[in-house]
Amino acid sequence: MEKNVLLQVDHVWVERPGAEVLRGVNLAVGRGEVHALLGLNGSGKTSLALTLMGAEGYRPYQGRILFDGRDITDLGVTERARLGLTLAWQEPARFEGLPVADYLALGMREPERGRIEAALEAVALAPLAYMGRAVDATLSGGERKRIELAAVYAMQPRLTILDEPDSGIDVLCLADIMTLVRRMADEGMAVLMITHRDEMVGVADAASLMCAGAIISTGTPAEVREYFAQRCRPHEGQLGSQPWGSEAGGTYRRVVSEGVCDE
């Protein structure tokens, strides 16, 4: 049975100066589905995220992108955002000096205090302690990351692309990210969760594996993790040093997630 598709990417090719970053990407994300996109560093994951958002310079020269059945290949960032596509960046944008509550309200169609509080609670930040705080350098990296995710949650997009939500020096605890991602899906929001850490895939309903600018496998999280272990590692040599280092040898090992909580 065909799943109820929200996002469909058909054979998308994207070229950047000096590099063909996407080479015929096919991908389908269902409504309210958590879809993990796994791939080594340099495999093209961020390029795909930027292409899906309609970022400048990432217009496909071949292929098309459908969102809720509508062809959005030629739409710009603002129009896509209006349709309900959101990208949380690897480096959260900072709105210096703005109170946290106002920052969250920015992306909400109808800002309301209850929703802002719920969003902060969803990322384990006490609303009373954070609503009035300024978004500035006094926040730790982990706090900023949480606030960024709370803003996405408050926005209630139809599809959220999280590009390596676990990256950064002070990062959010993996368990917290997964809880929020699951909650978004339970409330009907689809999430495309980009990661190079296979343990992140566990929270997903489906997963796809990206290698050298193309999706080479789609299936259950378990199937894709297995495929990642068997078929992607040979590309390591071409792509350079990977997060788990060469000491892992030929045998597949989980990427260790120690030290990911900043408190």
Ligand X SMILES: Nc1ncnc2c1ncn2[C@@H]1O[C@H](COP(=O)(O)OP(=O)(O)O)[C@@H](O)[C@H]1O
Interface positions with ligand X (CB under 6 A)? 16-19, 21, 39, 41-47
Taking Cα atoms as reference points, which of 193, 172, 211, 196 lies closest to residue 245? 196
CA atoms within 13 A on the CB side of 247: 6
Task: Report the nearest approach of ligand X to the CB of residue 112 (Å).
Answer: 35
User: Minimum Å distance from CB 12 to ligand X?
Assistant: 13
In sequence order, the 6+-apart residues with CB closer than 8 A to the CB of 18 are none
The tokens for 119 are: 């969003």
For ligand X, the closer CB: 19 or 175:
19
Segment interacting with Mg ion (CB under 5 A) among 46-54, 145-153, 179-187, 209-217: 46-54
- Whose CA is closest to 155, among 92, 94, 203, 85? 85
CB of 225 to ligand X, least distance (A): 17
Among 36, 44, 46, 50, binds Mg ion (CB under 5 A): 46
Q: Which residues are CB-contacts of 137 (< 8 A; sequence separation ≥ 6)?
A: none
> For residue 49, which amino acid is it?
A
Q: How far is the CB of 188 from ligand X (least distance, A)?
A: 27
Residue 51 touching Mg ion (CB under 5 A): no
Judged by CB under 5 A, does residue 217 bind Mg ion?
Answer: no
Cβ distance to Mg ion smaller for residue 52 or 100 = 52
Question: Residue 195, interface with Mg ion (CB under 5 A)?
Answer: no
| Residue (41 or 257) nearer to ligand X, CB | 41
Q: Of the two residues 44 and 221, which places its CB atom closer to ligand X in the complex? A: 44
CA distance 146 to 212: 31
Task: Give the torsion sign (CA, 168, 174, 177, 178).
Answer: positive
Task: Select 45 or 145, whichever has its Cβ closest to ligand X.
Answer: 45
183 binds, among Mg ion, ligand X, none (CB under 5 to 8 A by kind): none
By CB under 5 A, which span of 39-47, 122-130, 185-193, 243-251 interacts with Mg ion?
39-47
d(CA 167, CA 162): 11
Of 35 and 45, nearer to Mg ion (C-beta) is 45
- The 3-state DSSP class for residue 240 equals coil
Least separation in angstroms between residue 51's CB and ligand X is 9
Our CB check for ligand X shows the closer of 47 and 156 to be: 47
CB of 242 to Mg ion, least distance (A): 13
Contact 11, 62 (CB under 8 A): yes
What residues have CB less than 8 Å from 207, skipping those under 6 apart? 35, 36, 37, 38, 201, 218, 219, 220, 221, 223, 224, 225
Site size for Mg ion, by CB under 5 A? 2
Q: Does position 160 bind Mg ion by CB under 5 A? A: no
Instruction: Give the distance, in angstroms, between the CA of residue 73 and the centroid of all CA atoms in the same chain.
Output: 20
DSSP string spanning 24-41? EEEEEEETT-EEEEEE-T
The binding site for Mg ion (CB under 5 A) comprises 45-46
